[in-house]
């Protein structure tokens, strides 16, 4: 169905929740054959990479290799353990994981009046205190980020849509957040987790690592003792 995208962009800037709820209006109705339950199913198409990985996995397992997982997230210290002095150059092409800090949100009289204007009712002293306690709990990580909207709506006794609007108009701190990097990296080399894999294999019958694939790391299972496969 044809529609004016600029109209929806402008509406999203002023009232995102309303723009979201209007979405179904521009979707063409589907025919009976595309509705659930369906009475005819087509065969699913396999992705070649996933298919190849599965076949390689079965081949290694059939040869007697034990299976082990290499973590997806690697602390940079393990990269230094692998590459030594060269690690600084290697880390130049590694992605670091970051997160958003939790802002210290202050509640002044002006903001209380803005919130009451959006809600259309007075908060009262008890409501103000509960609001401050909830935001403080969020700052201390006692409330998860994806639960903040729900918790504020519960405290204020309003719909989630009003809380989203309130956070956008009254608390610019949330929009101004800048990600902060950690020391954890996204695995770029399977061997970055080599020492982690060795540590997990200590004391087993197969002390020698032997091979790896894009999704699994394997070590010799029924190989001759005393020699790496």
pLDDT tens sequence across 205-217: 555 555 454 444 4
pLDDT grade for 173, boundaries at 50, 70 and 90: confident
Percent of the chain with pLDDT strictly greater than 90: 16
The residues spanned by each domain of the chain are: 109-177
Rounded CA-CA distance 175/186 in Å is 26
Question: Which stretches of 130-178 are assigned E, i.e. beta strand?
Answer: none
Close Cβ partners of 119 (under 8 Å, ≥ 6 residues apart)? 156, 158, 162, 166
Burial of 142 (0-12, 13-18, 19+ CB in 10 A): exposed
Q: For position 217, what pLDDT does the model report?
A: 42
- Overall average pLDDT of the 14-33 stretch: 79
């Amino acid at each position: 169905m044809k529609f004016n995208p600029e109209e929806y962009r402008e509406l999203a800037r002023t009232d995102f929740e309303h723009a979201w709820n209007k979405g179904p209006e521009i979707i063409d109705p589907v025919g009976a054959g595309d509705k659930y339950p369906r009475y005819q199913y087509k065969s699913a198409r396999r992705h070649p990479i996933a298919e190849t990985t599965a076949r390689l996995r079965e081949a290694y397992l059939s040869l007697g290799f034990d299976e082990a997982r290499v973590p997806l997230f690697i602390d940079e210290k393990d990269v230094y353990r692998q590459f030594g002095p060269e690690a600084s150059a290697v880390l130049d092409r590694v992605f670091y994981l970051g997160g958003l800090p939790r802002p210290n949100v202050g509640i002044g009289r002006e903001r209380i009046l803005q919130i009451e204007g959006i809600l259309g009712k007075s908060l009262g002293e008890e409501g103000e205190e509960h609001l401050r306690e909830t935001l403080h709990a969020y700052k201390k990580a006692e409330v998860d980020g994806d639960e903040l909207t729900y918790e504020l709506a519960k405290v204020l006794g309003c719909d989630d849509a009003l809380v989203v609007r309130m956070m956008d108009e009254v608390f610019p701190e949330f929009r101004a957040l800048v990600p902060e990097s950690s020391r954890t990296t996204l695995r770029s080399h399977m061997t970055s987790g080599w020492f982690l894999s060795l540590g997990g294999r200590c004391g087993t019958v197969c002390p020698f690592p032997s091979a790896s694939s894009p999704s699994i790391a394997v070590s010799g299972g029924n190989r001759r003792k005393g020699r790496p496969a």
